[in-house]
A and B are shown apart, each in its own frame.
Chain A
Amino acid sequence: MAARAACASVAHMDVGAALAELKELSTQIDVVLVSSRAGDLDASTATGQTGVKLARLAADIVTQAEQVRADMGREALAQLQAATPDGSVFAVLDGDRMAVATTGPDPTVGLVFYDLKTLLRQIDRGVDPPPAADEAARVAADESPEDGDA
């Protein structure tokens, strides 16, 4: 029983650390969380009850999107972006788990999806993450020769 509780605690810490690292590296993400598709929060960079509320709202968003998908007769939903002038909500689905992020207006969509997919892969594998997309792009730019040098 005690060992089981310890394992759960370590797993939770790992997810929290991964979220904190992603939040630190990505300049576009305001809040990021991991939850079940039913809206049960696993970990979040938001403090207090905000993370819990966001997880439930994200679950509602995914439920509504799933109904739209069913009405259209499409394949399973993989990810979504709900964009408003004030910002965007992103969700990437992986089985019963989902990674959710909020951003400001006009985010770089591909980078946010890349970061959330990487986060889910990292949590699944329990290994050190590759750098977030923003950081990877920055490192690549630093390492590439300047135009004038050629």
Chain B
Amino acid sequence: MQMAEYLTAIGLETHAELSTDTKIFCNCKNRFGAPPNTNVCPVCMGLPGALPTINSTAVEYAVRMGHALNCKINLVSRFDRKNYLYPDLPKAYQISQSNVPICVDGWVDFWYNDQVRRVRIERIHMEEDAGKLIHSESSDIITYVDLNRCGVPLIEIVTKPDIRSPGEAAAYLKTIRSILTYLDICDCRMQEGSIRSDVNVSLNRPGEPLGVRCEMKNINSFSAVTRAAEYEIKRQQEILDAGGIIQQQTRRWDDVKGISSVMRTKENADDYRYFPEPDIPPVEISQRRCDELKKSVPELGNIKLIRYISEYCLNEKDAHYICDDPKLAAFFDECVQSGRYSPQVYSRRIMSELAKYLNANEKSFEDIRLDVKRFNELLGEVEKGNISNSAFKKAFEFMIENDDNVKTIINDLGLLQLTDESELERIAELVIKQNPKSVDDYKKGKTNALGYIMGQCMKCSKGKADPVRMKEIVLSHLAK
């Protein structure tokens, strides 16, 4: 039977924990890894009588994310209660935003598959995180509740079903992570669950409306999102190919086994009984503050990436490497802005020298001392022929570990290139005299003998000879 052609539509709901000092509705510390139930108070423990008060920093973080994703900001937004019973949810309702979220109708552009892709953002809303259940490993089947995470501020970013493939979903998520990093509003520690996604997948034939979707809940790595989506596409494809129909379901993804299973169907879906949160008045933000927050959003990694690739013609891998680290990208931009060399020269140096150094030493850009002025000076020394490429590497490594100026570094390390004609002549004569066999071979037409002679010359100059001039002089001697 012929496999039918389907289009895939993926929508993501991504939860990101905001890195505010305190929780969203009380003054408890928002800190990962504290001993169980130590960052808690009557409010986040849901004790009778306790009331929530909104953390304005969390609101501002959400607004900045909204601006970063080109959203319309609701200057008045509202909180609602989402009611459900679960042992890690002490109030038995989650304070969330349902009807009037803080940000709506945005989009995000990112580079994927050699083009710019745009995914529309339906909404961003604020809510509180729940606690954690810890199941004892012994045979007594006890479950412990840790409420430290209760009330950690979350934003949930909901896309339209615009994502067309599992790979694109991962690219979108990396973009979201990059934006959160650029805004410095989330720790983005995946293994700690700072970013978690619900994945909605549906298939449809070209020209037909979107199919019935299935959702997989709470997946906390990007690669697991990809695998879950791939599995789901295949599952739905098989059902459709066999003439079946897709039932709306919430499914649980088991990343270890690589399969998903039904959690609940539409018929027994939870009724969360949303209603307006009476304990928190509408959240208001002034137009002026909203505008100020918009201005505080820097040029983001996804936009830089597109610019580097399409304007500077950097290759995707290099552009990604630079954009991944906001500080490195800022350095790169500053280099380009200095106008001394082309973007490619800078990116080549960054990839060949800097990336290698950071990798080998397990450092990040913020650990080193690199400034545009010295970097340009050092590159100038190579350009002028004062130092060799290999000398550049040595000087560069020294430079990023010290504050010395470039001249001092070159002098102290003895890296200055040998350009004195008479000295180069002397070396050429000496090497030719000491290697008659190689000279003979060369003259008989064995051109690779030249390489050996050049190598001996460089060795004799302790690597400092200007290789271009040296070669010219050697050739002129051999021609005699």
A and B associate in one complex = no
Q: Which residues of B contact A (CB under 8 A)?
A: none
Chain A residues at the B interface, C-beta cutoff of 8 Å: none
